[in-house]
A and B are shown apart, each in its own frame.
Chain A
Amino acid sequence: MNGAQHILEAFQRHQIDTVFGYPGGCIMPLYDALVDAEGVEHVLCRHEQGCALAADGYARASGRLGVCIATSGPGATNLITGVANAHRDSIPMLVITGQVPSALIGTDAFQETDVLGMALGIVKHSYLVTEADELPAILEEAISLAQQGRPGPVWIDIPKDVLLTDIAAMACPSAAPDIAQAAQSTLTTTAPPCPDLSDALALLHNARQPLLYSGGGVGLAGAEAAFRAFADTSGLPGVVTLKGIGNHGKHSPHQLGMLGMHGSRAANLAVDACDLLLVIGARLDDRATGKLADFAPNARIIHLDADQAEFHKLRRAEVALRGDLNTMLQALTQALSNRPLAIADWQAQCRTWATTKGFPAADNEATVAPIHGPEFVRQLSRITPDDAIIACDVGQHQMWVAQHYQFDHPRHHLSSGGLGTMGFGLPAAIGAQFARPDQVVINVSGDGSFMMNAQELATIRRYRLPLKLIILDNQCLGMVRQQQELFYGNRESQIDLDDNPDFLTMARAFDIPSLHIERSDQIRRGIETILAYQGPMLLHVAIARDDNVWPIVKPGAGNREMLDEHQRNRKETPTTKTSKETAA
């Protein structure tokens, strides 16, 4: 068995049945072995960035390991954005690249790049396999490492000659039980012992206005049920980060929505007023906290997380507890069920804020035109099934989805949080559809983001994926335009996209039928039509060019300084210099 065959054997042994890749020179031995392999479906994307982002979407939707494969040089460099995206959002991913033959490394050979050096800052760990007999142990370790603790991408760079070398039987896991058992034990090990929660409980009982602040760590730990039990038992009002959307479920009476730059007034007001913040599986990201000096100014912090390095990084916590969130939340729930919190006044205050200070809705279906993004997303949320998976790209539409779609589970919301990768949505939705073939998967995109990975329409066509594609088309880079309007004196610069392609014709080129709507009385029919269609379908939605995401906190400002539409200070005519004029 050579190195390439061993990789595929390891995939089968670890029940890795779906991988996303693109062949090329130095990875060809693996593609040759793939011809005879059973039990592994290789999804051919049309760009290596698409492979990495599809693997990311697969992992987010399923909770399983995402795997992507590419060749050396440009294949590897094209993966970088997708791997960085997974790294910033703690997504379990295995990355395998071919490398030039060992003897040629360091000679500037054809398609040689220093992948190990290049990727150091965007991986949980990485390897260059220098001896063929090391490959089995490295694979076992990498598969385990990517998924344990705080997950992340692990990259293995493998010279072509290693892929072709027969691997000694001694090196294979079946003959090296210590390696295999060690790797397996990290996946199946029982939860670590629960840390002492008495200090946290004392703070909770002494607080008058305690608030729950949860992030993506809850979903990553598979701790949704434990989290909801804790939220219900404690009665703590809760805010969520972008990655924590769905933690509470769509019907929770306790949640105040997303906090931060585009958070609800209710969430930001509660954070501003609270005297204790219980942070669970979140890293106090700057988009969520705003200006740190103004963040939760009256609050003490309890921080529960899987990653020790997140404690005290941006804000000192009075109590910081590292461990398995399931274990800690269950223990806290038990303790509070014996001795409930007395916070009725605070709960009433938060309920009032939730009712009166939620996200502003232009929810007027009687309006004929133009369609407003928030209104579209609210209708989408009402019409789609509870278990629909919504991928989005990056920009205004992403924030409208975060604000106005009611998610029942964090794995239903696929959004590029840390890196903010335009072009994430389409390949991520492809990955999610492979992970969840029986669920409705919808990509909500903007016209700017959609063009960033539009080549993956060919992947949808090839695999006949029943994806639903929605483009909220405002003919510009809306989020950049919005910030230019509000914070750069309305001087529009390089945001005009009114020369977009005809998206309907484009879809037709990939055998994807489409529908165009431009009036709000067409929204319901449009959504129902694409959902009813047995196959992929595109809904092109012409939306108002000058709609903004409200509220907004100016970058660098405190979260209490939320701007609303009535504070909009537009000039009559924006100062515009388009890219076309520049080119001319």
Chain B
Amino acid sequence: MSATTEHTLTCRMQAEPAALERLCQVVRVRGFRIRQMSADSADGQLTIGLTVSGERPIGMLQSQLEKLHTVAQVSTETTLALARA
């Protein structure tokens, strides 16, 4: 069993109608759970703060989020190892 890790990400994306759904679906499908989420909208852009947990490498989620056409940037802020799942 792999260790669960918590990660904080910031994502900048276009504020289109399905923006948050797209983001959340990718997080879920790629094996992570959202622990905390915030979103600010300005000038047609969304800035989304995400705290997610999962056992898979965060780089895999980051590259999948970056594939979304309306995502401009994803950055990983912090990583925190949690107790074994």
Contact = CB atoms under 8 A, between A and B. Distances in A.
B67 A309 contact: yes
A126 B60 contact: no
B35 interface: no
B58 to A, nearest CB: 12
Most-contacted residue by chain B among A128, A309, A311 (CB, 10 A): A309
A120 B19 CA distance: 10
Given A128-B17, A309-B66, A120 B22 contact: yes
Interface in A457-494: none
A125 B25 contact: no
B80 interface: no
Interface string B26-69: 00010000000000000000000000000001011001101111
Given A311-B63, A312-B60, 8 more contacts: A116-B17, A117-B21, A120-B22, A124-B69, A130-B17, A145-B69, A312-B57, A312-B59
A35 to B, nearest CB: 32
A313 interface: yes
A308 B17 contact: no
A121 B18 contact: no
B34 to A, nearest CB: 16
A521 interface: no
Interface residues of B, number: 17
Given A308-B66, A309-B63, A309-B64, A117 B18 contact: yes
A130 B57 CA distance: 37
Given A116-B17, A128-B18, A313-B60, A121 B25 contact: yes
Contacts of B25: 120-121
B67 A120 contact: no
Most-contacted residue by chain A among B16, B60, B66, B69 (CB, 10 A): B69
A145 B70 CA distance: 12
A307 interface: yes
Contacts of B57: 312
Nearest to A154: B69
18 contacts: A117-B18, A120-B18, A120-B21, A120-B22, A121-B25, A124-B69, A125-B68, A126-B18, A128-B17, A145-B69, A308-B63, A309-B60, A309-B63, A309-B66, A309-B67, A311-B63, A312-B59, A313-B60
A116 B66 contact: no
Contacts of B69: 124-125, 145
Contacts of B16: 127
B39 to A, nearest CB: 17
Contacts of A124: 69
A128 B68 CA distance: 16
Most-contacted residue by chain B among A130, A307, A308 (CB, 10 A): A308
A125 B68 CA distance: 7
Nearest to A316: B57
Interface in A118-138: 120-121, 124-128, 130
Contacts of A309: 60, 63-64, 66-67
A348 to B, nearest CB: 39
Nearest to B56: A313
Interface string A183-224: 000000000000000000000000000000000000000000
Nearest to A130: B17
Interface in A88-138: 116-117, 120-121, 124-128, 130
Nearest to B69: A125
A449 to B, nearest CB: 28
Nearest to A124: B69
A124 B68 CA distance: 8
A145 B25 CA distance: 21
